[in-house]
Amino acid sequence: MSHLIAVAGKGGTGKTTTCGMMIDYLCQKNQGPVLAVDADANSNLNEVLGVKVEATLGSIREEIAHAELQVKSPIPPGMSKQDYANWKFNDALVEEDDYDMLVMGRGQGTGCYCFVNDLLRGQIVKLAQNYKYVVVDNEAGLEHISRGTLPHMDTLLLVSDCSRRGIQAVGRVARMVEEMKLNPKTVKLIVNRAPGGVLNDGIKEEIANQGLDLVGVIPQDETIYEYDCDGKATSQVPDDNPVKMAVRKIMEDLGF
C-alpha cells in the first residue's frame, strides 16, 4: 500500500518548496520511486524539482473529451476511446531517476467530462499503488482529493507562513477536512518563513486558538530566495541548507 502525503495551505506560503524538499528527502533515503503529484492549478512543482513537463492531465482530458467532436479525430482508427485515453495518460507521467511526476493541470472547461474523469481517477488510483510514497502538492481547497480524483490521504501537512492570518487560513482547511470526513491519519502544521526559525508568542497563541498540532518550523532563507530569482530548482540547494535541514527534521519526526 502506498502512503499519500498531501500538502495544503494558502498560496505563497511555501507548499511547493516544502513538497520539493520532502520528495528530495524520500529519494535520498532510498524510499523511491516516489510519485510526485502537482495538484495545484497554479502548478510549479516541476520548477522546484527542476523537471520539464510536456503534458498535464488537464490538457489530456480536454483532448480526449473533444476528440470525437473533431472533423478529424486524433484517435487512430480501430482504437477505442478507452485505449486512446490509457495511451495518452502515459504521456503525462514524467519519469525521473528517483521519482515520477504527474501534473493535474487546470480545471475543466464546459462540456461532459464524466467519462474522462472516471477514467483518469481509475488510472491515478491504480498508478499510485506502484509507489511507496505519493506526495501531493495541493491548493488550499484540496479539490482533487475531495472529489476523489486522487486517492485517500494518509498524512496532511498544512503549511502556513509566519502570520496570524496564515495560521487562521490553515485552521479553516483543517476544519474543512473534518467536515468533509476526509479522515487523514495525521494532520500537522508546518510554519514556514519564520524569521530566524523561531515563532513569536502571538503566532504560538494563534496555533493554540486554531487547535493545530505543530510539527516543525522552517526558517526564512536567503539561498532559497536567490535560487528562485535565478530560476534554479530550489529543491537542489545544498544539503546543509537550513530549509532543507528543517524539512529533513520534520520528515524524521513524522517517522518517514
Ligand X SMILES: Nc1ncnc2c1ncn2[C@@H]1O[C@H](COP(=O)(O)OP(=O)(O)O)[C@@H](O)[C@H]1O
The binding site for ligand X (CB under 6 A) comprises 9, 11-17, 192-193, 218, 220-221, 224-225, 228, 234, 243
Which one of ligand X, Mg ion, none is in contact with 224 (Cβ closer than 5 to 8 A by kind)? ligand X
Within 10 A of 254 (CB to CB), how many other CB atoms are there?
Answer: 15
Nearer to ligand X, 117 or 143 (CB): 143
* Residue 28: strand, helix, or coil: helix
Nearer to Mg ion, 9 or 88 (CB): 9
Q: Which three cell numbers stand for residue 187?
A: 494532520
Query: Please, which residues bridge with residue 100 across strands?
Result: 35, 95
**Are the C-beta atoms of residues 151 and 128 closer than 8 Å to each other?**
yes
| Rounded Cα distance, 232 and 230, in Å | 5
What track of x and - describes contact with Mg ion for positions 19 through 58 (by CB under 5 A)? ---------------------x------------------
Within 10 A of 33 (CB to CB), how many other CB atoms are there?
Answer: 17
**Are the C-beta atoms of residues 159 and 11 closer than 8 Å to each other?**
no
Q: How far is the CB of 36 from Mg ion (least distance, A)?
A: 12
Nearer to ligand X, 238 or 255 (CB): 238
| Rounded Cα distance, 256 and 254, in Å | 6
Nearer to ligand X, 220 or 236 (CB): 220
Nearer to ligand X, 21 or 177 (CB): 21
Nearer to Mg ion, 13 or 123 (CB): 13
Which one of Mg ion, ligand X, none is in contact with 243 (Cβ closer than 5 to 8 A by kind)? ligand X
| Rounded Cα distance, 160 and 171, in Å | 10
**Are the C-beta atoms of residues 4 and 154 closer than 8 Å to each other?**
yes
- Residue 13 as a binder of Mg ion (CB under 5 A): the answer is no
Question: Where do we find the cell 487546470?
Answer: 106
Nearest position to Mg ion, beta carbon: 16
Q: How big is the chain by its Cα radius of gyration, in Å? A: 19
- Residue 16 as a binder of Mg ion (CB under 5 A): the answer is yes
Stretch that binds Mg ion, among 15-23, 25-33, 127-135, 228-236 (CB under 5 A): 15-23
Which one of Mg ion, ligand X, none is in contact with 162 (Cβ closer than 5 to 8 A by kind)? none
**Are the C-beta atoms of residues 35 and 134 closer than 8 Å to each other?**
yes
Which one of Mg ion, ligand X, none is in contact with 228 (Cβ closer than 5 to 8 A by kind)? ligand X
List residues binding Mg ion (CB under 5 A).
Answer: 15-16, 40
